[in-house]
Structure 1
Amino acid sequence: MEARAEARFIRVSAQKARLVIDLIRGRKAGDAITILRTTNKRIAPTVEKVLRSAIANAENRNTDLDVDTLFVTEAYVNEGPRQKRVRPAPMGRAYRYQRRTSHIVVKVGEKNAEAALSQK
């Protein structure tokens, strides 16, 4: 059983969000929330919100699910569209810059016995 949650068009570069996502991939859901609470990055509360949403989605799909057995099975960040902007520069020129966005996806599920044995 697997549930997923996605946050789209988040105003942070995918490179910066991946630093936080890499911390929680493959961890227990409870441990991942603890890690995100103590991580000193601006995107960490948003990733925590997505993770909590994925856990809630898992509970809604399966009522007899034990939340303590959930793991972060997949977590990844894709680039979203870029907003192209112009900044005034000296001597009447203009500098272009891009405001990057990203799409954050977190999937949670239960680790079955076969997968746990194959990883050892």
Structure 2
Amino acid sequence: MEALARTRFVRISPQKLRLVCNLVAGKTVEQALSILQFTPKKGAKVVLKALMAAVANARDQQNVDEDRLFVKRVTADTGPTWKRSLQRAHMHATPILKRTSHLTVVVDERVA
């Protein structure tokens, strides 16, 4: 049975978050946790927290064995963009786009 966890409005760009998501997709939960703990990126902490929430959802709702869980799907979708402006010389302004992401982590039980 699938279990998922969603984290919405994460203040990191989807492009940077997908770099971390691709590291753990298809791995067992144990492997994914160890990879994320030693990945020196901001997105690793976000994905780690969402992965632990998905595992907790699987354990609580479906009573599955944690040792047989694997990361079925990890997606980082585009959230709303916060628009700001940076004042420049001669009364010009440069737009600053503060991008956000929606993260979805799906874990499933591997059939032996």
TM-score (normalizing by structure 2): 0.97
Matched, 1:3 2:28: no
Following TM superposition, by how much is the alpha carbon of 1:42 offset from its aligned partner in structure 2, in angstroms?
Answer: 1.0
Q: Give per-residue Cα distances to partners, 1:43-87, cap 9 Å, x unaligned.
A: 111110000000000001123x21010000011110000011111
Tell me, which stretches of 5 or more residues in structure 2 are unaligned?
none
**2:81 matched residue in structure 1:** 82
Q: Which amino acid aligns with 1:83?
A: W
1:93, distance to aligned residue in structure 2 (A): 1.0
Whichever of the two has the greater Rg, that structure is 1
Moved over 6 A (4+): none
Number of residues of Structure 1 aligned to a counterpart in Structure 2: 112
Q: Indicate the RMSD between aligned Cα atoms, in angstroms.
A: 0.8
Identify the structure with the greater strand proportion: 2
Gaps of 5+ in 1: 114-120
Alignment of 1:9-24 (within 5 A): 9-24=9-24
> Taking structure 1 as the reference length, what is the TM-score of the superposition?
0.90
Aligned residue for 1:101, secondary structure, equals strand
Displacement of 1:25 in angstroms is 0.2
Q: Distance in 1 between matches of 2:100 and 2:37?
A: 22
The letter for the 1-side match of 2:31 is: D
Structure 1 CA distance for aligned equivalents of residues 43 and 72 of structure 2: 20
2:88 is aligned with what amino acid?
A
Please give the residue correspondences for 1:57-76 in structure 2 after superposition, counting only pairs within 5 Å: 57-63=57-63, 65-76=64-75
Identity of aligned residues (%): 41
Question: What is the correspondence of 1:94-109 to structure 2 with a 5 Å cutoff?
Answer: 94-109=93-108
